């Protein structure tokens, strides 16, 4: 399939998802022009704040391909990804991202992620979400064990 067809599929998923009670977002992951997986926003239907279209598509593609590394694949998403989804796209190692609506379009209908971008630029002590370091000297043991592990799978 051509990239326009793949994007039209993501857009159709987003439109159909609104009709079916979900959020207005859809995503397609393709490899060599073939659809590997799709996802739609199911935050409210699943009561899962991480059930965004892109994350859902990544999970489905990784399961189908049997790998966490989706290099060689591209993602087509009906809207510019939020910070969580963008992070997931980077971690999945997708080769390219295409999107239709942008974050301003999303903000205009009530999906405003700008506060997260603002928070990320602040020191943890200045963020709205209170946080504190706790038991770091105990937690570091897992990192030390990971460093010493000879049969680890790097990601």
CATH of the domain at 76: 3.40.140.10
Distance CA 66, CA 60 (A): 10
Q: pLDDT tens-digit profile of 9-43?
A: 999 999 999 999 999 999 999 999 999 999 999 99
pLDDT tens digits for range 71-110: 999 999 999 999 999 999 999 999 999 999 999 999 999 9
Would residue 154 count as lying in a domain? no
Tell me whether residue 147 is in a domain.
no
Answer positive or negative: Cα dihedral of 44, 50, 52, 56.
Answer: negative
- Domain tally, the chain: 1
- Is 54 known to be catalytic? yes
Given the residues 5, 54, 137, 138, select the one marked as catalytic.
54
Instruction: Specify if 52 maps to a domain.
Output: yes
Beta strands in the chain (DSSP E): 26-31, 34-40, 73-79, 96-101
């Amino acid at each position: 399939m051509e990239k326009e067809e793949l994007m039209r599929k993501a857009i159709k998923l987003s439109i159909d998802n609104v009709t079916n009670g979900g959020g207005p977002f859809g995503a397609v992951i393709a490899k060599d022009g073939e659809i590997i997986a799709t996802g739609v926003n199911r935050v409210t239907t699943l009561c899962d704040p991480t059930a965004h279209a892109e994350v859902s598509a990544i999970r489905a593609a990784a399961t189908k391909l049997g790998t966490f590394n989706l290099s060689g694949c591209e993602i087509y998403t009906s809207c510019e990804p939020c910070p969580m989804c963008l992070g997931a796209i980077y971690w999945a190692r997708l080769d390219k991202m295409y999107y239709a609506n942008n974050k301003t379009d999303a903000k205009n209908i009530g999906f405003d992620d700008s506060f997260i971008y603002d928070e990320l630029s602040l020191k943890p002590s200045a963020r709205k979400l209170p946080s504190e370091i706790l038991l770091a000297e105990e937690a570091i043991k897992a990192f030390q064990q990971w460093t010493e592990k000879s049969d680890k799978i790097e990601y």
